[in-house]
Amino acid sequence: MLLLPLLLLVLFAMFQVVLTLHSSRSAALLAERAAEIVAQPSGFGGRDYVIAANALEGMSRDLGVRLAEPPAISIRPRSVVVRVNLRNARVLPWVKHVVSRTVERPIEQFIPESQR
């Protein structure tokens, strides 16, 4: 009698874990890609926010996840920090519904061969 509700709870918990792991990995992948785009040397000093935001939107659609808010991109003297928050599907109501990941990458600097 009590076995069926318990089995359903375990099944829903396993499904929630899979959804959270997918969102977590997707957030890490999106943050890494955005940091890679912004850290590249370019005409804007490596700060291509619009390109990174467009890439994130496209990649999030491809991965089947939703951004909870726009990515936070901050530039430090030698590195780029990107924080991505994804909205996680909730099967169990008491589980967190936002997964966030932060990635820091060094800003790439072009050094001519004569100066190496």
Chunked mean pLDDT (size 10), the chain, 116 residues? 88 91 91 86 60 82 86 85 88 84 85 76
CA distance 61 to 56: 8
pTM: 0.78
Specify if 80 maps to a domain: yes
Domain-embedded: residue 63 = yes
Total number of domains constituting the chain: 1
pLDDT value of residue 28:
92
Question: Residue 2: inside a domain, yes or no?
Answer: no
What per-residue confidence (pLDDT) applies to 84?
A: 92
What is the per-residue pLDDT for 42?
65
Residue 105 neighbours by CB under 8 Å, 6+ apart: 32, 35, 36, 39, 79, 80, 82
Domain assignment present for residue 115? The answer is no
Asked if residue 30 is part of any domain, the answer here is yes
What is the extent of the structural domain holding 95? 7-109
- Is 38 within a domain? yes
3-state DSSP assignment of residue 83: strand
What pLDDT is attached to residue 46? 45
